[in-house]
Amino acid sequence: MIGRLFGNVSQRVPSLLYRVSLMMKPQVVFVLGGPGAGKGTQCSKIVESYNYTHLSAGDLLRAERAREGSEFGQLIGNYIKEGKIVPVEITINLLKKAMEETMQKDEKKFRFLIDGFPRNEDNLQGWNNVMDGKADVKFVLFFDCGNEVCIDRCLERGKNSGRTDDNRESLEKRIQTYLQSTQPIIKLYEKHGKVRTVDASRSVDKVFADVKAILDKEG
């Protein structure tokens, strides 16, 4: 009886150890740039060619806003329309949950593009509090694009996107938020040599050629 019991345990232990050894720490690339810089467009292209999962903070917040029964739906909706940054507790939990769910489904999917995060000091602190030691941030992929180009692209996108913030009034606020809150975060990472900058004002293909060169070098 005892022998059978031990037998079963010892058979189970290697497979457990094997599973744990396969669980990699998430490898993260933060993707930043102004509204309309092309972050989402480039992340979709990266996912086609590289083993990355794209998590957009904005998309996760819009999905939470739309989720029936969400206690934060209205609050998120107001922040988005005003181009303001949603409190980090909400965003970080959505990101953490999405990362965990992805890795639980397939433990080989441990590479993440986190798009639109960290957008301010509060975001960065939230990340450090919740994720420090639990994920490795490899670098920041920065899509550098002039404000006017960004605004024009979002207005064009707004013709079909159905987004409440792709209009001139929201965009002025989003650009201000980007300049005041997000650029200092990019500068902070720059000081640590962790920013890879791409000129995002060019065509999608030209931008992607530079992105590929970065990813091929950095993995």
Nearer to ligand ADP among residue 88 and residue 154 (C-beta): 154
Q: Can you say whether the dihedral through the CA atoms of 130, 94, 125, 212 is positive or negative?
A: positive
Q: What is the DSSP letter of 181?
A: I
Residue 26 lies near ligand ADP (rule: CB under 6 A): no
* Cα–Cα distance measured from residue 198 to residue 202, given in angstroms and rounded to the nearest whole number: 10
Write out the binding residues for ligand ADP, residues 148-207 only, by CB under 6 A: 153, 156-157, 203-204, 207
Q: Rounded to the nearest whole angstrom, what is the least distance from the CB of residue 40 to ligand AMP in the complex? A: 7
Cβ proximity of 17 and 132 under 8 Å: no
The listed partner (ligand ADP, ligand AMP, none) that binds 53, CB under 5 to 8 Å by sort, is none
- Stretch (H or E) spanning 112: strand 111-115
| Separation of alpha carbons 185 and 194, rounded Å | 11
Instruction: Tell whether 40 is in a known binding site.
Output: yes
- Which residues make up the interface to ligand AMP (CB under 6 A)? 35, 57-58, 61, 79-80, 83-86, 91, 116-117, 119, 123, 165, 174
126 binds, among ligand ADP, ligand AMP, none (CB under 5 to 8 A by kind): none
Which of residues 35, 83, 118, 126 is near ligand ADP by CB under 6 A? Answer: 35
The amino acid at 21:
S
Structure token pair of residue 74: 């209205």
Q: 3-state class of 33 per DSSP?
A: strand
| Residues within the interface to ligand ADP (CB under 6 A) | 33, 35-41, 153, 156-157, 203-204, 207
Binding residue numbers for CMP: 123
